[in-house]
Amino acid sequence: MTSVRNPAMSKAPKIDPQEQARILVEALPHMQRYDEEIVVVKYGGHAMGQEQTARDFARDIVLLEQTAINPVVVHGGGPQIEAMLKKLGIKSEFAEGLRITDAKTVEVVEMVLAGSINKQIVGYINAAGGKAIGLCGKDGNMVQARKVSRSVVDPDSNIEKIIDLGFVGEPEKVDLTMLNQVIGREMIPVLAPVATSTNGGTFNVNADTFAGAIAGALKAKRLLLLTDVPGVLDKSKNLIAQLSVADARKLIADGTISGGMIPKVETCIYALDQGVEGVVILDGKVPHAVLLELLTDHGVGTLMHR
């Protein structure tokens, strides 16, 4: 009788069967640790990379679901939004690292995030054998947000002024009704960080912040923030493997953690305060970064814990 093989396997690199078995056995305790647990993965715009990278990410997410882990994907899309705005001739302005989102811009943001990017990720996961469902914060009133405002101090006059960021919001309330209908039923939710306002309008929400709010509400086992850097670095630019909340606050205070890493770490602290067991900042460009972090002894980023 002729054995039936998956045609795709013939294209895969040849691995010694004994080595393959050893890898699977070593992954077992990690699979048991996350059995039936929720893992929220924030998939950043820069971490998305090329098509093959995105397809590899999709396969990793499907593998997690197949091992009885419940992945929830939250994606960004800053570079893709910027490309579409440029294509449409709409100029972007930023303040304190946040995009100033006027009425025209928020239409593009919603179109790109909840439309093209979301459905592309859903398609890749489905092509890898999963059952992904694309949603955004407005669906089922999942994430209600309030308007964000930021104050900055003018270096010349030393006068503090308020910056109006337009249709930029931060999560105020998370309703899990819809997610509870999806998680644990062999479906993988893929969430775009677009939220609703109290009057039914649209807010653009930072993807890290959105993922932190979702993970906190779900009391996730892990929140993974995939970005384009290895993790949190010390003053010598070496990776810090683990950080407590107290240590993270000290590193912010002394300037070791600076720039765009500050809001990421603040999101980690918020998620931990909400009941998430651990948060990891890691480089999404590393092949199979999610699997390396969750299913091996090594880890590839900075783990923050309470």
HSE of 197, CA atoms in CB hemisphere, 13 A: 14
Q: What is the pLDDT of residues 93-147, one digit of tens each?
A: 776 666 688 889 999 999 999 999 999 999 999 999 999 999 999 999 999 999 9
At 5 the pLDDT is 43
Virtual CA dihedral for 113, 114, 116, 122, nearest 10 degrees? 110
Whether 29 is in a domain gets the answer no
Residue 11 has pLDDT above 70, yes or no: no
Query: Is the separation of the CB atoms in 215 and 271 below 8 Å?
Result: yes
Whether 282 is in a domain gets the answer yes
Q: What is the CATH number of the domain that holds 228?
A: 3.40.1160.10
HSE of 137, CA atoms in CB hemisphere, 13 A: 35
Residue 152 has pLDDT above 80, yes or no: no
C-alpha R_g of the chain: 20
Domain count, the chain: 1
Whether 2 is in a domain gets the answer no
Whether 21 is in a domain gets the answer no
Domain assignment of residue 83, given as a range: 36-299
Query: Is the separation of the CB atoms in 178 and 140 below 8 Å?
Result: yes
Please compute the mean of the pLDDT values over residues 48-65 and round it to a whole number: 90
What burial class does residue 125 get, using C-beta atoms within 10 Å of its C-beta: 0-12 exposed, 13-18 middle, 19+ buried?
Answer: buried
Q: 12 versus 60: which is more confidently predicted?
A: 60
CA angle 154/160/162 to nearest 5° reads 105
At 99 the pLDDT is 64
At 91 the pLDDT is 84
Reported as a pLDDT band with limits 50, 70 and 90, residue 1 is: very low
Q: What is the pLDDT of residues 191-223, one digit of tens each?
A: 999 999 988 899 999 999 999 999 999 999 999
CA distances from 305 to 71, 81, 104, 241, 298 (A): 20, 33, 40, 11, 17
HSE of 19, CA atoms in CB hemisphere, 13 A: 4
Please compute the mean of the pLDDT values over residues 154-174 and round it to a whole number: 83
- Helix locations, 67-183, DSSP H: 78-87, 103-111, 118-127, 177-182
Question: Residue 195 and residue 201: Cα distance in Å, rounded?
Answer: 8
> Helix, strand or coil for residue 301?
strand
Whether 219 is in a domain gets the answer yes
Whether 5 is in a domain gets the answer no
Q: In this prediction, what percent of the chain has a pLDDT beyond 70?
A: 91
The residues, ordered by sequence, that sit 6+ positions from 142 with a Cβ below 8 Å of its Cβ are: 135, 136, 174, 175, 176, 177, 178, 179, 191, 195
Residue 151 has pLDDT above 80, yes or no: no
DSSP string, 110-138: HHIIIIIIHHHHHHHHHHTT--EEEEETT
Whether 252 is in a domain gets the answer yes
Reported as a pLDDT band with limits 50, 70 and 90, residue 285 is: confident
At 45 the pLDDT is 61
Residue 55 has pLDDT above 70, yes or no: yes
Q: Could you tell me which of 88, 138, 135, 93 has the C-alpha nearest to residue 108? A: 88
Residue 3 has pLDDT above 60, yes or no: no
Please compute the mean of the pLDDT values over residues 80-92 and round it to a whole number: 89
Whether 97 is in a domain gets the answer yes
Reported as a pLDDT band with limits 50, 70 and 90, residue 7 is: very low
